[in-house]
Every structure is written in structure tokens, then in C-alpha cells.
Structure 1
Amino acid sequence: MKPMLPSLSFEIPEGKEWLYEVKYDGFRAILHWDDNEITLTSRNGKSLLELFPEVRLFLETNKDKFAPYLPLTLDGELVFLENAYKAHFGSIQVRGRMRSKKRIADKANASPCRLLIFDVIELSGKSVVNELYLSRKAILLALFKQCDLPLKPDEKSVKLIQMLPYYKNFAEVWEKVTLYDGEGIVAKQQNNRWEDGKRTSLWVKYKNWKYATCFITSYEKSNGYFYVGVYRNQTIIPIGQFIFGIKPDEKKALAQIIKENKADEDNQYIYVEPAICVEIKYLEIYEEQMREPHFHQFKFEIKPDSCTYDQFIQGQKNLPPDVIITHPNKPLWEEPPLQKIDFIHYLREISPYMLPFLKDRLLTVIRYPHGIFGESFYQKSCPEYAPDFVETKMADGINYIVCNNLKTLLWLGNQLAFEYHIPFQTINNHRPCEIVFDLDPPSREAFGLAVKAAKYIKEILDQLELIGFVKTSGNKGLQIYLPLQENTYTFEETRLFTAFIADYLVSKEPDSFTIERMKKNRGNRLYVDYIQHAEGKTIIAPYSSRGTKEATVATPLHWEEVNEHLRIADFQIPAILKRINQYGDPFHQYFAAKEKQNLQPVLDFLKK
């Protein structure tokens, strides 16, 4: 059995008859399971289970759940899931080339891949290929619910078989794909049937292209490929070759121009000096070359000198075209040495993790127009020159910015807003969305007091069966979060709890902790700022940078990291994405915890 295949399109099909699925970059795989055998077969008919034993182990461990539905055949994509909307192409390629059983087993255990199922072909021995798309999706959904499997991709879930849902609204899913830098989408007509081995126009893939401006360096005589490059310090760096996307008459004319203006020639290539500039669209950079390059257009107005490697690298960040980055090389931090474009790239890459905390909150930023080398200032009111995509909300006579999208975040970054401070409630209500304890030691040298206080608070949260998350402040302390169900508790009620915790810490170690507001009366004790948790007050947002000389970030932590080895200065802008990729996002379950958090019994006790 061969998989049904989509057709490539450079225009998104829209209309009520079209539905949309996220496209992931992995190995197409058909799972077949009968009473005696499990097979996982690639698009080319090769067995995949030997290379991905974690999939077999998960299936066999959960055989009792699947047993009522055998024999079954499911269609999906085997991926290394980077986030809910993107698979990492390089990682799945490395896995696919492995041959050592020990290395395969080690990788499967440390970094398991996941099988994302988007279609069902056979269930309980009955073929469903003649069912319409929506019917097949309904059958698949029922199967996944009965087997207690994830109904959408989740890179943190230990359940390695996950369902790939569909979306009715293209704009909704495309915003997620571009935000998380996914590969693209597959549009599917509602009335399609699954057809063995057919490339169909009823499934259409639409990709999330990046764009590179480069110049032609040579022409390959045997196959008609055009090779392109960019300059890095006057040296030509090859970045790939293209043949697709260019019209036959354009291709013929371009080849003729190269032949007439050749600088050199050998048995394989005709070489030209940099002169003809083109724009190429591609998926990503893989092994320093463009993946899936397609010709987009000639750039006759561009000179080759402006086609630089730096621009090429910046292009892969996929910044929105209507966000203009000015003075990208402006130095902002000295150690580490970070320029403005580095800061913008950080905001772009951290946005999937940071934006959910900014959403629907009145924003106060601290801007550093000269980087850390000059004065800073607070900004609450949205300036008149803000672009139309910046959302605002009037409150207390101030027209606040509400950072609900990537473009607003990047625009603020271009304004050199280093710090993002948010209130404890959204614009939709006046009740807190969370409780936050701000553990503020008197100095960086006394940071151990914050660690000690955090451990005490974690102990009492565990005893009360409450869910807490911890992050650095990015400056000199720690902050502990308790997510709350929306519009459930008042600030007066949460004050009961914050005061209780503060009093507990002070009674536990009065020489270490204090609730004294006056700095001069605190001595060397840590200030437990429970009064700060109130309507109108703000806290630094998770993953916000800080205006410190070390370019530190208010970084979410795993609880086991809260120990004597913890140092604020270890969490700098260049390290944060590497950290997430290696250890995951410690706040991944933050919003899901809102539904599980049960503060009411504690408040009932404190009210007595």
C-alpha cells in the first residue's frame, strides 16, 4: 500500500469545502497492525520500526487499548516534534541514517520521535477508504478518545501516537504555523476519499516559505540547474541551486545570457561573475544549503554587493514583511556582545513561549534607546506613530499597548523595549489570573535567600496539593506562580493566601525573611513582597529580557534547578532557546494547570 499524496500549490485554496491540517517535516508512514504483527512502512515501502523502536514499544505496551480495533491501518507522519506546529527535519534525518542498534536505542530513549496520525484506512478489519474525509476524521477521533491518546500534537507527552486535527479557518492555523515556524499546511476538500498511491488535487500542500536574495554563480550543463551564492566579506558563499519555479522561456533566456557572458567553463559548469540577482524561496537551511529552493523572481534592481550572508541568515528567521527593523547592527549589550538584530531574533524565536503571557494584558515596557549604555525610561501609553497592527486598550486614562501578536512584539523590540511588565489580570476582567510571589533578596550576593524561600514555598504548596511554577526575575530574585482559573477569585481572597505564605516564611526564619516595606528596616533579610500582588501592580513577564549588563532573562525553571548551584547570570539571551530545545519549557503545562488548581479549600480554611 502506498500513501495518497498532496499536490504543491503556491496559492492557498479557500472556501467552505476546504479544511486545513498542519504539515510536518518527517517521514510519511503507514501503520498496519493485525493480530500477529505491527508494521510501519515508509512512502518508499521500507520498514521504519527498526529505526524507531520507541513507536513499537509504545504500541505493544498499549496493546490492550488497541486490541478491539485490530486489524487497523492508519496514515501519518513520523516526526521529531520541536513544538506543536513544527517538526525538526535535521533530527529525523539523523535518526533515519542510524544503523547502530545501541545508538538507535539510546536516541529513542532520550529523544523519542512521535507518530502523528491524520487519516484512517482500516479499522477492526473494515476498510474506510470510501468514507468522506470528515467521516474518516470522526472515526479517527473516536478511536483516539477510546484509546486515551492525545487529540493534537504535543512534544511533551509521553504518548507517542498522537492525532493531527483539522481546522476550518485558514487564518487561524496559518498564524500558528508562521508563529511557530512550521513547514506549512495541507488543505483537504471535505469530500475527498483516500486513494492508494494517488497524487491528488483534493489535497494541496502550501508551504511556509523563506526568501533569499542572491546572485547566480554558475549553470550546470547536464541538468539545467542554476547555482546561487551570497557574499561574506567579499568571499562568495554557495547556498544552493534551483531549477523549479522558473518559466521555460525565462529559463532558456537565462541560460543563454550565462553562456554569452561566461567567465569560465569546464566539463560540468559554465561560470559567471556575480551580476544577475534573483529571489529564491525555500523551506529552511539544512547543512548550510537551502532546502527545496524554488525560483521566485528576478531582482534586477538589486546589486550583487547587497546579497550578503548576514541577510541570508536573517531571512530564515521569517520576520513579518511589514515589521521594519532599523539599525540592525546597533550594539545593545557588551557582554555578551549582542546587536539589535540578535535581540530581534531572540524575540522572534521566544515568541511562542512569551506571547501567551502577554495576551490581553495591559503592557508596560522599559525602553533602552541606547542599549544598556544609556538611560532607560518606562512607557505605558501607546505612541501615536504605532502601526495599525498594534492593539490598544484604554484604562485609567492611558491608552495601553496590548501585545497580542508577533508583529507587535517585534515592533516593540525595534523600539528597544527590553523589559515587558504585565498586570496579574487580563483586560477581560478585574480578577487575578495567577498568584505570584516575588522573592526579592537585598542583593545578588544574597540570592541564596531566594532559593531558600522558594524551597519552603514549594514544600507548603505540595502539602496543600497546589500547583506552582518558578522562574528567575532576571535581576536578583525568584518568582513563584500559581495559575488560577479565570474570573474565579478576587484580589482580596488571594491576599489572604499571599499573606499566609509570607507570615509562614517569616515565622520559619525571621532572620532570613521579612515583610517590612521600608528598605532601611530590612537589614540583610529577603523581602517577601506579598502586597505587590494586587490590581494594577505588574510583574516581569516570563522570558522577558532585562536591562542588566549580562543580558539576563526572566527565565522559567524546573523545580529541581532551584538549588545552591542556581545563578541568575547563567540565564542570558543567547542561552535561552538552546535551553528550551534541550530541556523543554518549564511553563509548558502552565495554562493547563489553571483547570486543575484548587485553591478554594485553602481559602475556606483561611477565612475561618
Structure 2
Amino acid sequence: MKPMLPSLTFEIPEGDEWRYEVKYDGFRALLTWDQEIRLVSRNGKSLLEIFPEIKSFLLENEEKIKPFLPLSLDGELVYLENPYKANFGNIQVRGRMRSDIRIAEKAKQAPCYLLIFDVLVLNNKNVMSESYLKRKDLLISFFKKIGLPTTPDEKSNALLQMIPPYKSFSDIWDKVTLFDGEGVVAKHIQNQWEEGKRTNTWVKFKNWKYVSCFVTAYEKSNGYFYVGVYNQKEIVPIGQFLFGIKPDEKQALFQTIKDNKVNEEQQFIYVEPAICVEIKYLEIYEEQMREPHFDRFRFDLTPQDCTYERFVGQQKNLPSDVEISHPEKPLWEHPPVQKMDYIHYLRDISPYFLPFLENRLLTVIRYPHGIFGEAFYQKNCPDYAPEYVETKLDDGINYIVCNNLKTLLWLGNQISFEFHIPFQTVKSKGPSEIVFDLDPPSREYFHLAIKAALLIKEVLDHLHLISFVKTSGSKGLQVYIPLPENRYSFDDTRLFTAFIAEYLVSKEPADFTIERMKKNRGNRLYVDYVQHSEGKTIIAPYSPRGKAEATVATPLYWEEVNDQLKIEDFQIPNILKRIEKQGDPFRTFFQSKEVQNFDDVLAFLKQKK
């Protein structure tokens, strides 16, 4: 079966007769399930061999889905980065994999999701001729009955999720642009699903990025115009365009290139930088623009205005009401990180970072002069903070609560490097997690943190407790045990942290200590079980640190905790590349809270007490 296709539009239709859905960048996929499960691409190729996690998840939920078989669902297979964006690069890498071992590794570490937006057959009933609204209601009812998410959630373990409809284009468009999604699709409420048809009752409106660049060459065989930007005095090629330019504009541009050529060969006509244009495109993939379209000539610009720095800045679609001052300001020297680099890091890491800041009273450490000057702690929200910055008054302090991307970027512009959070949210009556802060006397003794973490992991595994581990970004490691909200007190968790601390000291007294006085610790690692209490804070996962190496408090996989582990390997410039390659080790952190069984452990410790 060939899928129905949307038409591209540059003007979104609005009105009561239209509904809107987020457009995700992945592989179009038709799921059919009768006697067997089939997942087929737009070109008719089977996808289950490359994405075995989808089949495994469906089979795990077979009993819930069985009453609705046979079924046929239309969707998008994606690597979900946040609720409004799929990562095109990651899904492309998965699509090219052929090694069963590598596919299995990726399926476990960074599983993909099948996001369903339409239903064609349900319980052996063909509903393709029903209206869009009727089909969507059936789809929502189906997902609710089988207990799977009706909105995309990258933190969920459910690999089958639904794409919901929205009545307001502006509401969903604001979210898509804020989270750098691909775009929005608009569907007429009377739209029918028609096999293989491209229709105007289903249109796609993309979240274009714009670049000012100059023409460098014309390709004779296909009519493409090549463009570039200046990086210092060097021309950096960024791609080529053909679509979007009117016939008369195309002819005029070709004639200008021909009349002013500096070189011509069998394939290309070359020209010196002089003609400036604005190109719209989706994103940069493998150092080229994806889906470039001509937008307009820029007669108001010179080629010197078309810089690589400006090009990089335009890629991020930063919120217009977040002002970035002095973007070129150096913040770190080795590796070199300028202020705009840092803002881009916060923008890109936000889907992984913000969930840990949400509803937490925030303490930041600000570095007005970057790593090169003095720093200071900030708890109180300053009077000049913009309206979108949420706050919470607690014990006489008006704390910032970083619940949105704009606040995070604003804090980045304030050159806040370190984000310290308490162990509970503003909605929690007790701890939201247990954290062991394994802090050696210096980085030279980092091996002690590794040893302590692995000993703790042994105990936690024996007790059937789910745990996570991250670097502190400074000189130690931190072990997390997620807890369900509002179930335990800090007195409860103190019993456990003290128990673990005493276990470590009794097992290796030459390496570990609970001695509070630094002068009495020697070179032993201090196991600070007292720190885990109300009002105390710890560095948030994915927070940068005010260290010379631009290190980040980085979530790890437990198998990475070994003698080869080094704090300085986790720096701002490589964290996103690490996630793209290996996935997010804390991906299931919040889901594990609901299944964490701490009751039996606590009951044993209270009885022992």
C-alpha cells in the first residue's frame, strides 16, 4: 500500500475546518498487524529488521492490542529528541545500519519511536473513507484503551505513541519553533485517507531556517546554483539550490553568472562572490543544507556580510524575545567556547537538561567574565528578569524556577555556568531521589569515586533498586536512586544513605570515610550522607561547571564506570555528539520512579534500627 502524501505550502490554512499536528522528521511507516506484524516504509521496504525494538514492544503489548486486530496504522518512525522534534541525523544513521550487533546496541541504548497519526483499519474495519475527525477520534480511543501515550514523550518507555490534533495553529507553531521542530501539518476535518494521493486537504508547513549567502557557481547539467559564506577570508560552501526561484529570476541569475564568470569548465561556471541571496532550508545535515529553497535576492548585503558566524547563529532559531549580548565573548579558553557557543549548547541540551530543572528552586553560579574572572552564587531572582522567568518564594528568597527554554537561555546570557538544584521539587513533600555524592580529595584520587560507585552499584543491584550514575563535572561521581514523589521523608532516606556510607567505610576503611573534618580525612574519599537533606543542593545532570576544561556533569552508562573513565573527557563541545552517538543514559530516569521498590529496603532498615 502506497501512503497518502501531503502537499508543501508556504501559507498555512486557518479556520474551524482545519486541525494541526506536529510534523516529525523520520521514516514514513505503515504498521499492519494481522497474522504477523509488518512495518513498511514509503518505498515498500520492511523496517522491522533495522528497528527491532518496535516489534519487541508490540509483542510485549500483544494482549492489550489483540482485541483490535487486524489493524493498519499510518505513522512516522523517529528518533524523538523532544515532544516537538525528531532528530533526522540519528534516524538516518539507524537506517543505514546493517550489523545485527550494532542495531541491537542502538535499539537498547537509544530506541526509536513509532508515532501514529492516522488509522486505516481497526478491528478488521476499514475506516479510510471516514472523515479525518472520525478517524482521529477512533485513534485517540484506541490509544486510551490500550494505555499508551496520546502525546509524544521522549522519556517514555512506550515506543508506540500517538500524534494528537490541535485546533489552534499559533499554539502549536509556537512550541514547534521554540523546540526547533520540523514543522506543522494542517488537515481538513473532512479529509479522507486516499492511497498514494497527494492532496491539498493535507498540507505541510515547514519551520524554515534562513541564511544570507553568496553565489559561487552554476552547474550546467542540472541548473543548480552553488552558494557559500565567508569564514574570515575563506569561502565555506554550504550547499546548492534550485527550487523556489521564478523562471525569470533564474534566467537573470544565470545570465549574470555567465557574463561575469571567472572560470568555466565542462561541468561548472564559476563566479567571484558578488550576488547575495537568502536561502531557506530545514537544517544542516552532513555539512549541507537540507531542502534548500531560494527566498529572495539580498541587494542590501555585500558578500562580506554573509559570514559563517551569522550562518551558525541563524541555524538555532533562538526565541526572538531572548536577547543575547556580546555573543563573541570568550568564556573558556581550552576548549575555546564563546558565549554564543554556550547559548547553542544550552539550546541543544535543553530537552535533556530542563526535565531536571523543572519545578526546582534554582541556585546558579554566575561568571560575568567567563572562566577568567571571579564568580558569585545567585539565589534571588533579580528585579530586571523578564516576565517569562518563573519564581517561587521560599524562606525569604525569591528563587528562579527554570521551567522553560527561554529562562534557560536568559540564564545563559547572564553567564550562569552552574545549575544547582535541591533533592525535591516545589510540589514534593519529601525527596524526589536519593543521591550519593562521591567526592574524592582531588581529581588525582578519582579512582576512589569509581571504586565507591561500583561498590554501591553491587548493593543496589542486590536490593533490586534502579540506579543511575553521572560525573560531577568536577572531581567525583554521583549515584542516583529515583523515588516516587511524596512517598518518603528525608528521615527515611537518611537511614539508607547512612547504611550505605557505613557499608563502604567498613569494607574499605583505608579508602573511604564519613569524617566531616577535612583535616582528618587524609586522602580518603568522603562519603557525604548528611548532604542528602532538605534545602541542600547538587549539580544538575548536564549542567556545565565553572572549570578550566569546560566540563559538564554528564550522565553515564554503568558500563562506562571503569578505570578508563576521565572527568575531562566530558566537555561542552562534545556532549551533544555523545548523546547522538550513544543516547541519553538518563532517558528512563523519570519512568523508573514509578516502579522503584524502596518500601522493602526501608522496612528492613527501620526494623534494624
- Summarize the alignment of residues 136-215 of structure 1 with structure 2, pairs less than 5 Å apart: 136-140=135-139, 163-166=162-165, 174=173, 177-178=176-177, 180-215=179-214
Find out whether 1:575 has 2:574 as its counterpart: yes
Q: Which moved more, 1:56-65 or 1:73-82?
A: 56-65
The aligned residue for residue 29 of structure 1 is: 29
The aligned residue for residue 517 of structure 1 is: 516
Gapped regions of structure 1 (runs ≥ 5) = none
The aligned residue for residue 406 of structure 1 is: 405
Distance 2:460 2:61 in 1: 37
- Summarize the alignment of residues 32-71 of structure 1 with structure 2, pairs less than 5 Å apart: 32=32, 35=35, 42-43=41-42, 46-48=44-46, 52=50, 54=52, 71=70
The aligned residue for residue 461 of structure 2 is: 462
| Partner SS, residue 180 of structure 2 | coil
Letter in 2 for 1:240: G
- How far off its partner does 1:573 sit? 1.8
Distance 2:428 2:160 in 1: 38
From 263, 267, 278, the counterpart of 2:260? 263
- How far off its partner does 1:505 sit? 2.8
Letter in 2 for 1:502: A
Letter in 2 for 1:484: L
**CA shift digits 1:526-568 (9 cap, x unpaired):** 2222222222221111111111122211111122222333222
Distance 2:74 2:214 in 1: 41
> Is the contact between residue 219 and residue 255 of structure 1 (CA under 8 Å) also seen in structure 2?
no
> Is the contact between residue 178 and residue 317 of structure 2 (CA under 8 Å) also seen in structure 1?
no
**CA shift digits 1:221-273 (9 cap, x unpaired):** 89876543312333433433445445x5xx63675477468412969877665
Find out whether 1:252 has 2:248 as its counterpart: yes
**CA shift digits 1:343-394 (9 cap, x unpaired):** 2222121111111111122221112222222221212222333333322233
The aligned residue for residue 442 of structure 2 is: 443
- How far off its partner does 1:154 sit? 6.9
Letter in 1 for 2:239: G
| Partner SS, residue 369 of structure 2 | strand
Q: How many residues in Structure 1 have an aligned counterpart in Structure 2? A: 599
Kindly tell me: are residues 295 and 322 of structure 1, through their superposed partners in 2, closer, same or farther at Cα, counting changes over 3 Å? farther
The aligned residue for residue 478 of structure 2 is: 479
| C-alpha RMSD of the superposition | 3.7
- Summarize the alignment of residues 148-547 of structure 1 with structure 2, pairs less than 5 Å apart: 163-166=162-165, 174=173, 177-178=176-177, 180-217=179-216, 227-245=226-244, 248=246, 252=248, 255-256=251-252, 259=255, 262-264=259-261, 273-547=272-546
The aligned residue for residue 119 of structure 2 is: 120
| Partner SS, residue 281 of structure 1 | strand
The aligned residue for residue 551 of structure 1 is: 550
Kindly tell me: are residues 535 and 174 of structure 1, through their superposed partners in 2, closer, same or farther at Cα, counting changes over 3 Å? farther
- How far off its partner does 1:194 sit? 1.5
> Is the contact between residue 364 and residue 420 of structure 2 (CA under 8 Å) also seen in structure 1?
yes
Kindly tell me: are residues 375 and 136 of structure 1, through their superposed partners in 2, closer, same or farther at Cα, counting changes over 3 Å? same
> Is the contact between residue 55 and residue 115 of structure 1 (CA under 8 Å) also seen in structure 2?
no
Kindly tell me: are residues 348 and 215 of structure 1, through their superposed partners in 2, closer, same or farther at Cα, counting changes over 3 Å? same
> Is the contact between residue 179 and residue 351 of structure 1 (CA under 8 Å) also seen in structure 2?
no
Distance 2:494 2:96 in 1: 57
The aligned residue for residue 9 of structure 1 is: 9
TM-score, with length taken from structure 2:
0.85
> Is the contact between residue 361 and residue 421 of structure 2 (CA under 8 Å) also seen in structure 1?
yes
Gapped regions of structure 2 (runs ≥ 5) = none
Kindly tell me: are residues 58 and 315 of structure 1, through their superposed partners in 2, closer, same or farther at Cα, counting changes over 3 Å? same
- How far off its partner does 1:86 sit? 3.9
**CA shift digits 1:123-180 (9 cap, x unpaired):** 3443111233344345445666787877666778898665444456656755664455
| Partner SS, residue 325 of structure 1 | coil
> Is the contact between residue 332 and residue 338 of structure 1 (CA under 8 Å) also seen in structure 2?
yes
Q: Percent identity?
A: 67
Distance 2:490 2:25 in 1: 46
TM-score, with length taken from structure 1:
0.85
Kindly tell me: are residues 478 and 78 of structure 1, through their superposed partners in 2, closer, same or farther at Cα, counting changes over 3 Å? closer
The aligned residue for residue 129 of structure 1 is: 128
Letter in 1 for 2:508: E
Letter in 2 for 1:252: D
| Partner SS, residue 531 of structure 2 | coil
> Is the contact between residue 106 and residue 582 of structure 2 (CA under 8 Å) also seen in structure 1?
no
